[in-house]
Structure 1
C-alpha cells in the first residue's frame, strides 16, 4: 500500500478518535492558541456512534476543561441520588453497606450520562473553537518520518476489494501530517498497538488486563423508575467462573442502563460472557425491574482494567497515547472518562509548550510526567491492587483486602501489599477444555433475554460487505487445528456479536467470520488464546451506530 500516491495536509496536531480524550485534547489546544491547526479523525459514522460506556461520570475532568459546562448546555442532567451495592445469589441478594467503603467509592456529585451524547456536545464545543472534525474517516496506517518518528496517519481510504486489491471506486485517502499525533482510539486500538510494539513502550510494565462490558438500554414502567439511582452487583451468575459484576443506572425519560462486565482473565474456555449477561437479567431483582419494559439498544466494548502498573510508556517520537489507549480506568469505581479527559488536556498542554518552543516530532515527556504524577496517577495508584487481588484470591477475599488496601492508600499514601503483579495476559489465562466442563446456559426467552443476533440488530451495526475483512487471521489453520480441539474454539462464545462460527461443511469443520456483525469491541484481539486474531479498522463509517450509549 505504501506505493499509493496520496495528497498530504499539514496540521499542528492530528488526533485519532473523537472520544472524551481526543476531544478534550482538541478543545484544550484551541483554548491555549486559537491559531493552532488541529484536526480530529473519527472512524464512526458520526461523533458518538462508537462510544459505549456505563456511565456514571465524575465531572472533575470536564470541570478542569470547561468549567462552565452547565451554562453551555452539556447533556449532564441526572445527578446520582442513591448508591446501592449488592452481593447476589441465584434467588436472593445481600446489601453491602456503604459506610465501610473508602470515600473514593462514593458517587455523590457524579452524574448518570450517555457518553455518546457528551462526546457529541464536546464536538460542538471543539468546532466552535475552530477544530476540524471529520467523522467517517478511519485511520488505517501510521506515517513515519525520516528519523523513525510518527509524523501522521493515512485516513479515508475506501473501495478495496475483499482480496485487498483496488476496486473500481477506489479512493486512496489522504496523509494528514502533524507536528504531533495523538492516538485516542480507545481500548486496544490497532495504531496504538503498533506504536506500543514498535517503540517497546510496555517494557518493564505488567501485562494490560481487560474486561468485556455488555450493555442494554431499557425503557421501563414509570412506576418502577427511580431517576438518579445507581446499583452495582457482584456474585451470581458468575460465581467462581469469572470476575465481574453488573450495573443498573436509572437515567431520565424512564430509561435504565443495564450492564454486565466479565473480566477477560477467566480460565474456562466454555464460559459465554454474553449468555452470563442474559442470565443475569432473570435474577428476581432485575426481572421485576424490567418486566413490562422493552430493550431499545444493545452494545459491547472491552475495558482496560490493568490500571497503574499496566500503563505503558505514553509517548514516543511524534506520538502520544491518550485515555484508554493507555488504560486509565479506575476499576473499583468503574470510571475512566474523567481520566481520559484529563489525559487529553495534559497532552494538549505538553504539545502547546513544545510547538511554542518550535519543537516537533520528539517525545512529549511533560505529558507522561503529568499523567503519572498528577491527578490521574494519584487516582489510579490508590486502587492499583484491587484487580490483582480479585484475580489471585477471588471475590470475597478481594472485597475485604481490597477495601483495606484502598483505605490505607487513601489515608496514609501507602499499601501493606506494595504493588501486586497481574502475571499472565488474559489470553494466557485461558485453560484447555481438559480442565473444565461445558456450561449449560438457559435458552433466551425473547422477553428479558435475547439471542446474540437479535440483540446485535439493536446496535445498528453495518459494514460494507465488499471490503476486506478487518478481522485478520495470522494463520488461517489455527482456529480448527489448534483452538477447536484445545479450547472448543472460544471465539464462538467470547465474541458478544456472533462474529465467529464453527460450521460443518462436507464433513469438515470450517471457521467462519461474519465481520458484518462486528461491534468493534476488540475482545477477539485480546482473548484469543493463540493470539491469532488481529483487529484492524474497517473503512470509515462502518461498525455500530449507537444512539445514546
Structure 2
C-alpha cells in the first residue's frame, strides 16, 4: 500500500503530526494520504504516563481544544515537593528553592492532570475526522530501506505464526506500507528507531541515551482523602537508602485527578549499579511511607503499568533526520526530565515534522529527501530551547546525587537556564556492580493493601499475548543468562523486569533461564538494562501487550 506519509505509533508525537499534516492539506486544498500504524489493540492501549500536561503544543494544534472536548478536566491547583529522609520522615521544600521547571502553578499556561492514554484516544478521533487512516493492531517490524539508503516505509509483522515458526490457520503475511516520508514515533527505546540510530549513525557525537523505568498505579480513594488538582512530587528514600542496598536516583509522583482517583508512581533511573535492586519492589515499599500512605490508605488499586523513559535530554538527543524519514518524540528522546514532562515536547516535534514534510512534498512530490529544514525548524522551536536550558539536569544528579545535582540545576536555572558549564554522563545505564561486591536487598512481603506482588500487578495491566507465537524477547546468546549473568550479577533480569517475565528455574540438572513473554508489558527495560546487552526486544504480533484503561 502506498501513502504520502506513514507514521509508526499512535502516541502524542505521531498523532500530532498526522493531524497537522491533514490541517495543512485542507488549507491548501490538496489531497494527502496519511497512515498511522499502532501495535496496540486500540489507540491509547499502550500509552502510559504520569501525567501532568503543559498544553502549549496542544493549543498550537487545536486552539479550540476545550470546545472540541479534549480530556483535560482537572487543572493543577497546588503542587508540593518533598524529600523523603527515611521510611518515616519527610521534608517539604519551600517553593522558593524549587526550580521553576518543577512548578505547575503560576505559569502563563495552566497545567492539567490527565490520562495520556485518553488524550491519545481523543487525538486519534481528531485525526480520523481529518481523514487520517489509523490501523490499530498492526505492529511495524522493520523499516524499508532501498539500495540508495533511503527509507521508503515499513513492513508490518506477519500474523498467525506459531511458536515453532510455522503458519497457523490464521496466518496473514505482513504488508509493505510504502511512503514518500516515514515518521517513527514508537516511544522510548523504539525497536525500529534503535536500529535506525545504529544504521544511520544518528547518535554520533552525542552522549549515550539514559533511561529510567516509570511505574504508575491508578487508585480509587475515599473522597475525604482526595484533593482534585493537587500535584505532589518527591525524591530521596527508598532509592537513597544505602544501608538497605539502595544506590539509585529517581523520584515519585502523586497526582489527584478527577472522580476521586489518585495516580501514584515511582521513576527509577536505570543507571543504578546494585544488581539486587528491584525497581518494582522499591515502588511497593515507597507507598508505605506516611507521606503517600495518607492518600492511599482505604483506597483500591484499579490499574498498574510500567514503561521505560528516555531521560537523557539534549545531550543525548540523536540526529532526528535520515533520507526519507524522521525520528520523533520519545523515540528520539525529547522528554524534558527536569520538568517531568514529555507530552508537550513530543507533540511539538510532531508539529514541526508535519510542517517540514508538507513543505518538502509541495516542493518535490517524489519524497525521499533528508529533511534538513526540519533540523533548523526544530532547533528554533521553544521545545528545543527548553531542552537546551535543562541539558545538565540528569548528569548533575548522576554526578552529585539528588541534593547536590538539584542544587547545581537550581543555580543553573537561577542564572538564566544553561549558563553553568554543560555536564555530561557518558557511562551506559547497563553497567552493574558484581554481585559479590553488592549489598543484598531483603524486600518486605506485600500486604495486599498498599503493596502487591507482580502477578496481581500484571493482571491489572490487562496484558495478553497469543501464547503460540515466537518469543519477541530475543537472546543473542542463549547461554549468557546462566553462564555469565547468573554467577556475575545474580541474573538481574529477575528483578529489573516489572512483571516477572524472566525467571531462573532450578532443575535437577541445574538452573534454567525461563522467559514468560506472555507477561510482557512492552516496557523495554530488559533491552536497556541487561548487563551483557544480550536481550533484544522486538514487536510481538500486533494487538498483544497491555490494554491500559485511563492511564
TM-score, structure 2 length as denominator? 0.96
What residue in structure 1 maps to residue 118 of structure 2?
117
1:426 aligns with 2:429: yes
Deviation at 1:102, TM superposition (A): 3.5
What residue in structure 2 maps to residue 4 of structure 1?
none
Deviation at 1:87, TM superposition (A): 0.6
Q: Distance in 2 between matches of 1:137 and 1:326?
A: 22
What residue in structure 2 maps to residue 504 of structure 1?
506
Q: Distance in 1 between matches of 2:423 and 2:168?
A: 52
Q: Distance in 1 between matches of 2:184 and 2:394?
A: 26
Q: Distance in 1 between matches of 2:402 and 2:283?
A: 18
Q: Which whole-Å deviations, capped at 9, do the CAs of 1:428-476 have from their partners, x for residues lacking one?
A: 3x12112211111000011110001111100000000111000000000
> Comparing 140-149 with 12-21, which one deviates more in the overlay?
140-149
**CA gap 1:75/1:61 in 2 versus in 1, 3 angstroms:** same
Q: Residue 84 of structure 1 is aligned with which of 80, 84, 88?
A: 80
What residue in structure 1 maps to residue 70 of structure 2?
74
What residue in structure 2 maps to residue 103 of structure 1?
100
How many residue pairs align between the two structures?
A: 536
Deviation at 1:367, TM superposition (A): 1.5
What residue in structure 2 maps to residue 189 of structure 1?
190
Q: Do the aligned partners of 2:102 and 2:340 also contact (CA within 8 Å) in 1?
A: no
1:128-527 correspondence runs (5 A)? 128-155=129-156, 157-239=158-240, 240=242, 241-358=247-364, 359-410=366-417, 414-417=418-421, 419-428=422-431, 430-527=432-529
Deviation at 1:156, TM superposition (A): 5.1
Gaps of 5+ in 2: none
Q: Which whole-Å deviations, capped at 9, do the CAs of 1:199-250 have from their partners, x for residues lacking one?
A: 0100110000000000000000101100000000111111151001100000
Q: Do the aligned partners of 2:75 and 2:111 also contact (CA within 8 Å) in 1?
A: yes
Q: Residue 27 of structure 1 is aligned with which of 1, 5, 19?
A: 19
Q: Do the aligned partners of 2:159 and 2:172 also contact (CA within 8 Å) in 1?
A: yes
Q: RMSD of aligned C-alpha atoms?
A: 1.0
> Comparing 145-154 with 288-297, which one deviates more in the overlay?
145-154
Q: Which whole-Å deviations, capped at 9, do the CAs of 1:469-496 have from their partners, x for residues lacking one?
A: 0000000000000000111000000000
What residue in structure 1 maps to residue 33 of structure 2?
37
Q: Residue 542 of structure 2 is aligned with which of 501, 515, 540?
A: 540
Q: Distance in 2 between matches of 1:59 and 1:528?
A: 36
> Comparing 356-365 with 318-327, which one deviates more in the overlay?
356-365
Give the 3-state SS of the residue equivalent to 1:256 in structure 2: strand
What residue in structure 2 maps to residue 11 of structure 1?
3
Deviation at 1:288, TM superposition (A): 2.1
Q: Which whole-Å deviations, capped at 9, do the CAs of 1:56-85 have from their partners, x for residues lacking one?
A: 000001011111101100000100000100
What residue in structure 2 maps to residue 6 of structure 1?
none
TM-score, structure 1 length as denominator? 0.96
Q: Which whole-Å deviations, capped at 9, do the CAs of 1:26-57 have from their partners, x for residues lacking one?
A: 00000001321000000000000000000000
Q: Which whole-Å deviations, capped at 9, do the CAs of 1:500-529 have from their partners, x for residues lacking one?
A: 000111230100000000000000000000
Gaps of 5+ in 1: 1-8
Give the 3-state SS of the residue equivalent to 1:33 in structure 2: helix
What residue in structure 2 maps to residue 46 of structure 1?
42
Q: Distance in 2 between matches of 1:167 and 1:140?
A: 19
> Comparing 526-535 with 362-371, which one deviates more in the overlay?
362-371
Q: Distance in 2 between matches of 1:405 and 1:64?
A: 29
Deviation at 1:542, TM superposition (A): 0.2
Deviation at 1:256, TM superposition (A): 0.3
Q: Distance in 2 between matches of 1:543 and 1:370?
A: 36
Give the 3-state SS of the residue equivalent to 2:235 in structure 1: strand
